[in-house]
Structure 1
Amino acid sequence: MSYVHCDARCKSDVNRAVETAISLHGKLDIMFNNVGIGDPSSSSILDEDDTTTMFERVMGVNVLVALLGTKHAGRAMVAAGRRRKHHNHGELGVSGRSAGSPDVLVLVARCVGASALAELGKNEVRVNCVSLSVVATLLTVSHYQASEEELEALGEVISTLKRVMLKAKDIVEAVPFLASDESRFALK
């Protein structure tokens, strides 16, 4: 087990993380790219500066992180031959219709994934997404200063799958499946 501290918004840091994995293990089979932020405030589109600033921050992190992770992992996997890539963009919960509203984030994440899949799929590199919702982890509970129950309720509201609470266990079970050959046609 190894750890590489990096700013997932920084191209050279992401490249260094991918290169470190390759130098330690000889190849990169799976990239679990789990970075996402939301707008913890209830900013309004009518707010003068706050909405634009928060929108730029949320989109800058969520889109750039997805793009950089996919780009550097995809390059490494294509260079090495048949490989798998798992792209997860998670923990994008927000309240209300704010600058980083879930519908916009879901659409952008799907566009990044679909675009990457169109190119990388030709080289047998798969791009998938597990969760575009809130998962009540210690990090999100702390960040949103909310209880686990409050975050689960929020997740249920913004999730595309209704009447089901997304749990960390669901992600733990989905990732190995998506990395397996059994999921080769389970693409988003």
Structure 2
Amino acid sequence: MDVREQPPIDGDAWLESLHTEHGPAVHRYLVSLTLGDRATAEDLLQETMLRAWRHYPALSRDPSGIRSWLFTVARNLVIDAGRARKVRPAEVSPPDLTQVPAAGDAMERVLTAGLVREALRRLSPQHRTVLVELYFTENPAADIASRLGVPEGTVKSRAHYALRALRQVMHDMES
């Protein structure tokens, strides 16, 4: 239905026919004015049609100039949007939350590692050797026993007492 051929029945039907007939051309025009930004062009097309709907009584009486009116309004909206961007302070993007350290971040691990290193220095050489072999180099108790020349049970017993001594040393260091 051509808006120039027959008088509109109501504003909604008139706007629908206006959008059908002129919407694609105005949209292409807006895409070119916004340098290919289709989302902004869509927003501006909606605003253009909203203004046409608000001016329905005047525009519906003279359908001959509707297309040029729509293009003028669309152009003015692009100009207004550009001016608003210049007046508005520059937008600051929110911080990248993926870069925020999580609980147990690297610094905490470094501090804990330093604390454990100092506590290990305070243990007896037998206890320190067994803990380093079991937990840091992850050697099995049988291999450690054969390397140290002691029974496997002795390695396990030393590990038990070494962990207890390590806990006590770390507790003393923290307080």
TM-score range, shorter chain: under 0.3
Would you tell me which structure has more helix in proportion to its own residues? 2
**TM-score, normalised relative to structure 1:** 0.23
Structure with greater Cα Rg? 2
Of structures 1 and 2, the one scoring higher in RCO (CA 8 A, sep 6+) is 1
